Structure 1
């Protein structure tokens, strides 16, 4: 019976993933977030030629919580030596054990990657819980289906103001391998 249950759960996860390319059930728009805004922040396939990128969606593994992050951050080839020219968005949604929730969407203002690690910062544009106009950051370690993620507000005192460009915490959270995956395109600076 246990094998049947695992097989059914795996089949359901595959069907949810197949429903919309590049999306996961946990990453849908949060209550109150405009659908058009949520669709505009959905990850896209990276451009053929770009200097760096962090794309994808994943939920965090934290019992009792439903937490998802989505990133669609890109640094164009023409801006290779200027990580602050990165574009895109990242968003998060957090449903707490008591049923309360919060969501935020940030406009990317810096992206830097090294190997399979990416750090992206953005200014919160819309949120029902986090302060608008504040710069926050996320860090992703792309290891396949078991990525790790960190975020600046885990260690930042809110009274200290914004984090600097391309700054976040170490990727200390585990990503739930059934909910999604991040993809990091490594940055290769040009040394002269």
Structure 2
């Protein structure tokens, strides 16, 4: 092989090597960027660890007006501490001009898939039985058919409720009102 032919072969090999190396570098960079966006908030930061937001009315054929609203969040930095959750939860129940409401400061939030359990200490209410009590509510974010449960079904549960405890989401939301959104908790498991 003469010198000119040898240089031509080397040039093609070097060019192919450079192209392959560039392609690999682009794939690695794209993969890393995709992972960052998938685990982030879409704005270059990391997404919060968990959240429960939205408002809905409960289904009641007798005409009761029962509303639950959530704005509960667990920051990314608190991923391993659900009791560091912040926000508020509100609920009210009225019928025939009678009823009451409560607002609670969130003190725990755990989510898994489309289900959330949130607790909070009541800070504002016109129902004396709720004053300064911890309440627990569960939500199933099921599209247009959201469900909800709450701990005050029995007196024993209402008296002394631990953080992040409630009942199964046994109530149905009123058609057209279920807009709960659950951001699933992504717990980091040890690898060893």
Same fold per TM (> 0.5)? yes
1:179 Cα offset (Å) = 2.0
CA contact (8 A) 2:46 2:76 kept: no
Confirm whether residue 168 of structure 1 aligns to residue 166 of structure 2: yes
Alpha-carbon displacement from aligned partner over 1:120-168 (angstroms, at most 9, x marks no partner): 000000000142211010000000011000001013436x623111000
**RMSD of the alignment, in Å?**
1.6
Match of 2:180 among 157, 179, 182: 182
Match of 2:73 in 1: 74
Aligned residue runs from structure 1 range 7-156, under 5 A: 49-63=47-61, 64-96=63-95, 98-129=96-127, 130-156=129-155
CA contact (8 A) 1:104 1:126 kept: yes
Match of 2:31 in 1: none
In structure 1, what is the Cα distance between the partners aligned to 2:68 and 2:139?
10
1:77 Cα offset (Å) = 0.2
CA contact (8 A) 1:91 1:106 kept: yes
Name stretches of at least 5 consecutive residues in structure 2 with no aligned partner.
Answer: 1-44
Change (3 A) 1:105 1:49: same
1:190 Cα offset (Å) = 1.1
- State the aligned residue count: 144
Change (3 A) 1:142 1:126: same
Name stretches of at least 5 consecutive residues in structure 1 with no aligned partner.
Answer: 1-46
TM-score (norm 2): 0.71
In structure 1, what is the Cα distance between the partners aligned to 2:82 and 2:189?
15
Moved over 2 A (4+): 155-158
Residues 75-84 or 48-57, more deviating? 48-57
In terms of fraction of residues, the more helix-rich structure is 2
In structure 1, what is the Cα distance between the partners aligned to 2:113 and 2:84?
20
CA contact (8 A) 1:59 1:66 kept: yes
